[in-house]
Homo-oligomer: A and B are copies of this chain.
Amino acid sequence: MSILVLGTVALDTINTPGGTRRNIIGGSASHFSMAARLFTKVNIVACVGKDFPRENINFLRSKGIDLSSLSVQEGKTFHWQGQYRNDFNTAITLKTELGVLSSFKPVILARQRKIKYLFLANVDPDIQSGLLKEMHKPKIIALDSMNYWIDNKRKALLGLLKKVDIYFANDKEAISLSGQKSLIKAAKSLHRLGAKMVLIKKGEHGALFYNGKDIFLLPAYPVEEIVDPTGAGDTFAGGFMGYLAKVGRADSWAIKNALTYGSIAASFNIEGFGLDKSARLRIEDLENRILKFKKCILFQG
């Protein structure tokens, strides 16, 4: 079953101890798609400006992404400029130019309204709600957000939380939205606030999942050389949602596998700048690394 992702397609300028890349393709929808495309058809709902290079559009299309609802508008593409120093867990934002994103009103096709797997990547919660209302009975609704919306549109975000199947948050966001002090308490609190499933991403420290019944703990695959962690969370979500959409179920078995695919997709993403690594990924690459990963986990076999 195919997936609809609402998010950003951006131009990123990224500086790390290993180098700088200017105006490379970034954005939550792009990163999500690179992992999700390995499992199913992905439809992007986003906007770019007239300055967005034609070759980038062609590149996304060459990866099998449906761009019917990627609108090209008068103005500049959303541009994020960020830096990582030695702590790859924390991005330092140097500049954010919203451009056409500041007046983004998603419009989707009639056929896209029937898509059953929906990922609401980090944009204004009102835009997320708006799109959700357009959809016709989605089966799995996943939500991501960021501290800016937790601080400035808390009520809208909490309203949305009640409607979603899975809420993706990093550790800081989970603590901030829940007001709890430990991650396990935060996960339980976010579940009480309405999210049927909660996935807290801890970067190089792995992830914690809670669905009101099971707690799953997932260490991160030990990457030796991190190049650029931008988009790791969206890549994780892409692998996770892609897997669920492919198998068409969301029981504990499917969730465990989805978490593994998501986590391993993210481990590849951070080994290259932007989409460099994830755009070249094949499903066999994920599967081979999962085999290695399983050997590292206590209690396995």
Interface residues of A (CB under 8 A from B): 86, 181-185, 202, 204-206, 208, 214-220, 222-226, 256, 259-260, 294-301
Is B219 within 8 A of A217, CB to CB? Answer: yes
Instruction: Give chain B residues whose Cβ lies under 8 Å from the Cβ of A297.
Output: 216-217, 297-299
A27–B295 Cα distance when bound, in Å, is 35
Given A205-B206, A296-B215, check contact A224 B260 (CB 8 Å): no
Cross-interface CB contact of A181 among B86, B183, B260, cutoff 8 Å? B86
Given A218-B219, A219-B217, check contact A226 B260 (CB 8 Å): no
Shortest Cβ distance from A163 into chain B, in angstroms? 27
Cross-interface CB contact of A182 among B181, B182, B226, cutoff 8 Å? B226
**In the complex, what residue of chain B is closest to A17 when comparing beta carbons?**
B181
Number of chain copies forming the complex: 2
Is B298 within 8 A of A222, CB to CB? Answer: no
Cross-interface CB contact of A260 among B218, B222, B298, cutoff 8 Å? B298
A301–B86 Cα distance when bound, in Å, is 38
A205–B294 Cα distance when bound, in Å, is 18
Given A202-B205, A219-B217, check contact A259 B182 (CB 8 Å): no
Instruction: Give chain B residues whose Cβ lies under 8 Å from the Cβ of A206.
Output: 205-206, 217, 219
A301–B299 Cα distance when bound, in Å, is 8
Cross-interface CB contact of A183 among B86, B218, B222, B294, cutoff 8 Å? B222
Shortest Cβ distance from A291 into chain B, in angstroms? 11
**In the complex, what residue of chain B is closest to A263 when comparing beta carbons?**
B298
Instruction: Give chain B residues whose Cβ lies under 8 Å from the Cβ of A216.
Output: 296-298
A10–B202 Cα distance when bound, in Å, is 35
Instruction: Give chain B residues whose Cβ lies under 8 Å from the Cβ of A218.
Output: 219, 298
